[in-house]
Structure 1
Amino acid sequence: MADPARVAVLLSGRGSNLRALVEGAQGYRVVLVASDKPDAGGLAWAAEQGIATFALSPRGIGKQTYEEALDAALCQAGVQVIALAGYMRLLSDAFVDRWRGRMINIHPSLLPKYKGLDTHARAIAAGDAVAGCSVHLVTEELDGGELLGQAEVPIEPGDTPDSLAARVLVAEHQLYPRVLSEFSRAMTDHPALPRLRDLAHALPGTEERPSHGQPTFFVEGKMFAQFRDDHHGDGRTVVAVKASSPNEASMLIEAAPDLYSKVAYFRAEWVGLNLVDPDWQLVEDRVAQSWELAAPKALLEAGGR
């Protein structure tokens, strides 16, 4: 089994989500807690737990210098995943790009509703029946990255922003460790993943980013392969690839159930190809075929394959 992913938690306040992440850690280990507020309560708690800390105020040194120092501390700690937990600074596009696909955030609303601040007051004012929280990938767009998980919290008669916030915070403490666990496991290399990455990235136009916590490969925005290791506790290590039709997918699964399997939550033309002691020539062929089925006509005509 792969070592736990090394996680850094960035915060600006008391660190209640930090405590939930540390106490609920599975598949990851918090190795660094960093803050732009040297007096943040979360730093003191982390130090008491023996977790390394980094504290630096950007005042007087500028955003670029601050982020360079933060990035250096993250790299020195061997961080693989960043979890924002009440971190109140806007990160630069350059920093987001540096950690693209490896940085997540928890936001106290059911995104895409109520991005930004004052989420609870806005939900109450709108007359919503439910509020909640969302974990998402961090991108250049404020609270706009891909959703990784959500939890709903009913809005009760007479709720104030403070009373609703208190109940949403309980939901955050349950949701965030679960999503971070799923996400971190996908960031920790399985023995088959590096070779699969080599095969996928050899195909023109391939981009990799996590989808639902799994390493996923796209061409021109369309998915053509996804690595899945014990996803949803199914006990399988597979690469999900696209067959030419649902009929072909069914035939593959029926003819070779030791090699092929259905992929939960995917359309019927997708199959899971076993990556335990795999036939790598077969894997290469199926990934390439899936790429061809997803690639735009212009890329194929340009001699992509």
Structure 2
Amino acid sequence: MSGRGSNMMALVEQARGYTVALVASDKPDAAGLAWAREHGLATFALSPKGIGKAAYEDALDAALRDAGVEVIALAGYMRLLSDAFVARWRGRIVNIHPSLLPLYKGLDTHARAIAAGDGHGGCSVHLVTEELDGGTVLGQARVAVQPGDTADTLAARVLVAEHALYPRILAEFVMTPLDHVRAVALQLPEAEERADGFFVAGERFAAVEGDVLRVRDDDGWADVALGGEVDWPAVEDRVARGWELVAPAGLLEAGGR
């Protein structure tokens, strides 16, 4: 949903492992809607004024389901969702909040962090529940509070962090382990996917079996757990290294890490 349009734009422009099916807003004149249409995205716009919250949320719910939406990513959507709406989409609504939750729920987060003398502000991507800013935190980015910072200067730097954090965490939230590995493996030169893994020049270099990655390494094969907390940058490096170990010499200048 749009509102704080720059976060919505970041989600669209950095989409990896997910597809933006619909951009929706409760403000029909929101600039983000025009931007979304210019980029070929489906949009939904409806003001709740005159029809009431329940009717508005029923229409929004229908539009989301008609568009095939599976996960809702709030981006500056300042209207509180009803408990009934949250219940319909339980576990499938995420939001980004400009503080290091559980610190500073609600508004004026940057001013509150500065007033408290905190060394860092930041942002958190979290699941949306009936409790305001109270759902499980999926990821955070810390931003140092600098001498002389105001709420506005800190907010500007936190927003940069939001643009990097939100698309990454959303991708991690919606992608299966196989999706993650596929996104990395198929970017490598001449890599292909078969039923039993990922290959280059007929040699297998990685495979996903449930929540385990089997990947080529210097000693043959290694197993890497993909359940729970996963260091995905490290996994990406392992996949790329596996490709390097079996790729023909002529390809090594074109890819890998």
TM-score (norm: length of structure 1): 0.60
Of 132, 142, 149 in structure 2, the residue corresponding to residue 152 of structure 1 is 142
Do structure 1's residue 34 and structure 2's residue 32 form an aligned pair?
Answer: no
Aligned to 1:81: 71
Q: Secondary structure at the match of 1:73?
A: helix
CA-to-partner distance for each residue in 1:251-304, whole Å, 9 max, x for gaps? xxxxxxx9x96747869xxxxxxxxxxxxxxxxxxxxxxxxxxxxxxxxxxxxx
Q: Secondary structure at the match of 1:46?
A: helix
- C-alpha change, 1:102 and 1:188, in structure 2 (3 Å) is farther
CA distance in 2, matches of 1:150, 1:30: 22
1:59 CA drift (Å):
0.9
User: How many residues are aligned here?
Assistant: 196
1:184 CA drift (Å):
1.5
Q: Secondary structure at the match of 2:40?
A: coil
Runs of 4+ in 1 over 3 A off after TM superposition: 186-190, 234-237, 260-267
Aligned to 1:203: none
Do structure 1's residue 72 and structure 2's residue 75 form an aligned pair?
Answer: no
Do structure 1's residue 11 and structure 2's residue 5 form an aligned pair?
Answer: no
2:211–2:226 Cα contact (<8 Å) kept: no
1:236 CA drift (Å):
3.2
CA distance in 2, matches of 1:43, 1:137: 24
1:183 CA drift (Å):
0.9
CA-to-partner distance for each residue in 1:67-108, whole Å, 9 max, x for gaps? 000000001100011100000000011110111111100000
Unaligned runs of 5+ in 2: 181-205, 213-220, 230-257
- C-alpha change, 1:182 and 1:189, in structure 2 (3 Å) is closer
TM-score (norm: length of structure 2): 0.71
Unaligned runs of 5+ in 1: 1-9, 191-233, 241-257, 268-305
Q: Which amino acid aligns with 1:91?
A: L
Aligned to 2:208: 236
Aligned to 2:35: 45
Q: Secondary structure at the match of 2:158?
A: helix
1:44 CA drift (Å):
1.0
Alignment identity in percent?
69
- C-alpha change, 1:266 and 1:36, in structure 2 (3 Å) is closer
Aligned to 1:93: 83
CA distance in 2, matches of 1:264, 1:30: 25
1:238 CA drift (Å):
2.4
2:90–2:129 Cα contact (<8 Å) kept: yes
Over the residues paired in the alignment, what is the CA RMSD in angstroms?
2.5
CA distance in 2, matches of 1:265, 1:27: 18
CA distance in 2, matches of 1:68, 1:138: 18
Aligned to 2:240: none
1:35–1:87 Cα contact (<8 Å) kept: yes
- C-alpha change, 1:189 and 1:70, in structure 2 (3 Å) is farther
Aligned to 2:217: none
Q: Which amino acid aligns with 2:210?
A: V
CA distance in 1, matches of 2:44, 2:55: 15
